[in-house]
Structure 1
Amino acid sequence: MEVTRGLVLIAATVTMGLFAGVFYAFTSLVMVGLRRADDRTFVVAMQRMNAAPGPRFAVAIIGPGLLTGASLLLHLGEDHRSTLWWIVAALLFYAGAIGVITFAGNVPLNNALAAAGDPDRVADLADVRGRFEASWTRWNDARAVVSIGALTCLAAALLSVAVDWP
């Protein structure tokens, strides 16, 4: 059982790293690059990225929640109390990143951008971009910070297992 507990916690940590990495990459690279693009390029790029997620992306988005939840269940009990609290904290950060930030902030903006339609048929791309970019970027920056918090908590959980800390 200890091996299973450890492997699931490692898998949760790795997938949470992917999760945090996606949002950090958007914050530090993608949006910085797109900021310099013209309006049409920006709208086309974001519409295509928002429509592209598939099974590999799902692993990085859904995997951390499932594996962190499984790790939580495997660490229930007195013997794993310090590890358990780190896992609970990670799950709360993850829920905030997905449930609050993504679904309350980013997804409605993505849907509005998709509803704007084909960029070749949009009369005012600057207006479409203006209603999307700054707000979406702020939500994503928050999502990056919160998901890094989740990753940090899982790293602390691993540390608590490895060296009985704290």
Structure 2
Amino acid sequence: MADMVYAVVPVASAVLTGLFAGLFFGFSIAVMPGLGRVGDRAMIESMQGINVAILNPLFAAVFIGAPVGALASVVLYAGVAEAAPAAWFGAALACLVAALGITFGVNVPRNNVLEKAGPAERIADAAAVREAFEPVWVRWNHLRSLASVVALVCSVVALTVR
């Protein structure tokens, strides 16, 4: 049974971290550039819709599961004195925590401001609302994407070192 835990938990952690990184990376390379090509109201309405749709159980499982899996992997490896994988999963955890900090410190507050602006069709100055939201949100999303991808690399390295 213990062997199965040591096989499943670290691999699940790496997979969840990959999904975590892929989500933010997808926003950086496709979603936001795509929304950058549409009008102000369409962009606002789309982001408001995304912000509602993303709050679902699968997203929560990945968003919470990745750092929890990394922490569990650190504990597992540290518990059997395997310093290298524990350190790499620790680095992954640090990067995931940084991405969470960015999310809750910058991106979610920007999403909340966008939501408080009201329905896109009723916003008097949609261009101003967009300008207050988009550049900051995108810049910080790129940073959390980078942190997440580094976390993924660290997780994969942790699976290969002994």
Query: What residue in structure 1 maps to residue 86 of structure 2?
Result: 84
| Partner SS, residue 123 of structure 1 | coil
Could you tell me how far 1:78 is from its partner in structure 2?
Answer: 5.5
Where in structure 2 are the equivalents of 1:99-138 lying within 5 Å? Answer: 100-138=101-139
Counterpart pick for 1:57 among 56, 59, 66: 59
Question: Per-residue displacement from partner, 1:21-74 (whole Å, max 9, x unpaired)?
Answer: 000000000011111000110000001101112001112211101111111111
1:119 CA drift (Å): 1.1
Question: In the alignment, which residue of structure 2 is the partner of 1:148?
Answer: 149
Deviation, 1:97, is 0.4
Aligned match of 1:8:
9
The equivalent residue for 1:66 is 68
Q: How far apart are residue 121 of structure 1 and its match? A: 1.2
Q: How many residues end up aligned between the 2 structures?
A: 160
Gaps of 5+ in 1: none
Query: Runs of at least 4 residues of structure 1 off by over 3 A?
Result: none
Deviation of 1:101 (Å): 0.6
Partner SS state of residue 78, structure 2: coil
Paired AA for residue 51 in structure 1: V
Letter in 2 for 1:11: A
- Aligned equivalents of 1:2, 1:84: Cα separation in 2: 16
State the distance in 2 between where 1:23 and 1:40 align: 23
The TM-score, its normalising length taken from structure 1, stands at 0.93
Q: Does 1:18 align with 2:19?
A: yes
TM-score, length-scaled by structure 2: 0.95
